[in-house]
Every structure is written in structure tokens, then in C-alpha cells.
Amino acid sequence: MELFKQLSYNLKDLDEEKGVVVAYANVYNNTDADGDISAYGSFTKTVSESFKRIRVLKDHDPRLMIGVPLHIDTTDSYGLLTTTQFNMQKQLSRDMFTDVKLMHESGLNAELSIGYRVMKRDEKQKSIITEYMLREYSFLSNWAANELATVRDIKSVKSVNGILELIEKSYNLDYSDARLRQIETILKALTDEPTEPVTNKDEPQILDILKTFKI
């Protein structure tokens, strides 16, 4: 059975012109949400033997391939460092790339997740995974309405002015009309539950900007 591990990551590098993102998909020697610890070298065999079969997906959906791994560094001391070429000829991939760019530029963490099987664990300390089979890694939707963690990330902007800045950035980026409508839905929901008290001066400002969205 394929399992998933999610990592809230800080982007290491992003090349907007080429559509390339460098980011960690997993970290070593750290207890994750499942209580597991990934040992250094735990991805070495699978990447060495199966690199050409590893896919880059959106939300672990095999129908939604958004790019290919250019390089997966298993020797980095911090974690599994991936270099991904997004398919910029595909609207789905461009939207996902723009999501990553927007979150990064707004100082928010995006989500990267691996699809894997555990091949070996440490005999003495079972929480330590010593060998993975890596099938794919996924960039997770940052604006999906049913992802509560995403809403919490966006709310970490913490203020009306921060939300306004996020609206402005998203509307000026190269999103498809469909993606902008999804973003609009989330941001409208945020105005219903402000993270800080909204002054009479701030509230019309949000509503006025939201009215400029084209549906």
C-alpha cells in the first residue's frame, strides 16, 4: 500500500523563466507527524534504481502529472532535495507553479508530499526508516477549498492588509481564469472570519477589491 508524508517546506530556489523549483521533499533525522524518522541515506537505493520511474504529481493524483524530476539529491545532509521541471506548456502545471511562487513570495510555507512504501526499518528503533521505495512526490494545492490546513496558512498573513496584499499578488500573476475563481472563493471566505478585528475603514476596502474579480 502506498503511503504519504507531507512536508511544509521553505523553497530553496525557483527559476521563473525556466519553470524549475528546488525544494526538500523530506527531511532526515526529524520525527514527523507519523512518529517516523527518515534516516540519512534512506532514499539512496530507490533513487539510484528507479529515478526514471519517479513522477511529479499534483495532490498525488496519477492523472495530474505536472512535471518531471531533473535531479534528486540523496546526499544532502538536511533532506531529500528535489529539482523539478514543471511542464510550462500545460495550464495545470503553470497554475501549480504560480501557486508555489505566490506562497514563497508571500512568506508562506507551501506543501510537498511523498508517495512511498517503507522497505526497511531499524531493527532496534522501529520508528527509524532506513529504506524507502519512492514512487512519486507531489506539490499540494495551496488554494483548495476543502483543505483546512491551507486556509490556516493563508490566515497566517494575520491581518487585513496582508490578505489584501495576497489578493493583489494573485490577481497580477499568470493564473488561469478558473484558478482565479478558486482563489476568489477562498479569499471571500477569509473576509467572513478575519484574523484580526476589521475596522470600518478596512472592510469596504476588501469588498471593493473582491468586486474587481471577474467571474
Average pLDDT in the chain: 75
Whole-number Å distance between alpha carbons of 128 and 39: 6
Domain boundary among 100, 118, 139: 139
Among 86, 116, 139, the domain-final residue is 139
d(CA 106, CA 83): 21
User: In this structure, which long-range contacts are made by residues 199-204, counting pairs with CB atoms below 8 Å and at least 24 apart in sequence?
Assistant: 199/160, 202/160, 202/161, 203/160
Residue 107 has a pLDDT of 72
Cα 173–Cα 107–Cα 71 angle in degrees, nearest 5? 80
Q: How large a percentage of the chain has pLDDT more than 90? A: 36
Long-range contacts: 162-168, Cβ < 8 Å, 24+? 163/187, 163/190, 163/191, 163/206, 164/205, 164/206, 164/209, 165/106, 166/102, 166/106, 167/209, 167/210, 168/209
Tell me: do 161 and 199 sit in the same domain.
yes
pLDDT given at position 90: 92
What is the residue range of 181's domain? Answer: 148-211
Q: Is the pLDDT of residue 165 over 50?
A: yes
pLDDT band at 157 (very low <50, low <70, confident <90, very high): very low
Same domain, 35 and 58: yes
Are 24 and 81 in the same domain? yes
Q: Looking at the structure, do residues 153 and 135 belong to the same domain, yes or no?
A: no
Cell of 38: 527518515
- Return the percentage of the chain with pLDDT > 70, whole number: 61
92 vs 12, residue with greater confidence: 92
In this prediction, residue 166 carries a pLDDT of 59
Which pLDDT value is given to residue 45?
97
pLDDT confidence of residue 213 = 44
Same domain, 61 and 29: yes
pLDDT greater at residue 112 or residue 196: 112
Q: Which stretches does DSSP call E strand in the chain?
A: 3-9, 13-15, 20-27, 37-38, 55-58, 61-73, 79-86, 110-121, 128-139
Q: Which of 13-27, 35-49, 102-116 has the lowest mean pLDDT?
A: 102-116
How many independent structural domains does the chain possess? 2
d(CA 68, CA 147): 25
Q: pTM of the prediction? A: 0.67
Q: What is the mean pLDDT of residues 45-73?
A: 95
Q: Which backbone phi and psi does 164 adopt, to 5 degrees?
A: -60, -40
HSE of 22 in the Cβ direction (CA atoms, 13 Å)? 10
Q: b/e string for 64-84 if b means 16 or more Cβ within 10 A? A: bbbbebeebebeeeebbbbbb
The verdict on 94 and 160 lying in the same domain is no
More confident residue, 5 or 162: 5
Position 70 confidence tier, pLDDT thresholds 50, 70, 90: very high
More confident residue, 146 or 156: 156
- In this structure, the answer to whether residues 28 and 118 fall within a common structural domain is yes
